Amino acid sequence: MKKIDNRVLIISPERWNWQFVSKHHYAITLVKRGYQVFFLDPPNNELDDIRISDTSCRGLYHIEAPQVAKGLRFYPKSIRVSMERRWLERLEKMIGHKFSLLGIGLILEETFPGFLLTYWEVLAWGN
């Protein structure tokens, strides 16, 4: 399968600077396969805005951000999806590119329909 682009956003339920688990290994494997990876931590409400920083792995960026909205999962689906899409568009504007793939630890397929592949599908891609 041919790569359509090389920017991947991994939305993880585990923080980057914590225990190294599967999402961390997926991120590093994708970087080794030529992808630019952005690893989004769970929400950090001590922050006022999105923060993007380099990691020790070239091509892998760490993103910390406050939650999109308090109690978002209780909002009506149409409002929740709209707010999450606007947040994602803002993040894409910050990095200057759109993401080609999303890898989400807790799969939210209805939020990003037609845009989500599982980690295993992404890792199956060759260079």
Note the pLDDT of residue 125: 43
Distance (Å, whole) CA 47 – CA 82: 22
Q: What does the domain layout of the chain look like in residue ranges?
A: 7-123
pLDDT at 33 over 70: yes
CB 66 within 8 A of CB 44: yes
Confirm whether pTM is higher than 0.85. Answer: no
Distance (Å, whole) CA 102 – CA 18: 21
Residue 99 corresponds to which tokens in the numbers above?
Answer: 């993401």
Query: pLDDT per residue over 37-52, tens digit each?
Result: 999 888 888 999 999 9
Note the pLDDT of residue 55: 94
Distance (Å, whole) CA 123 – CA 120: 5
CB 64 within 8 A of CB 44: yes
Percent composition of the chain: helix, strand, coil (DSSP 3-state, to 5): 30, 20, 50
pLDDT at 60 over 90: yes
Best CA proximity match to 16, nearest among 55, 46, 49, 51: 55
Query: pLDDT per residue over 109-120, tens digit each?
Result: 444 444 444 444
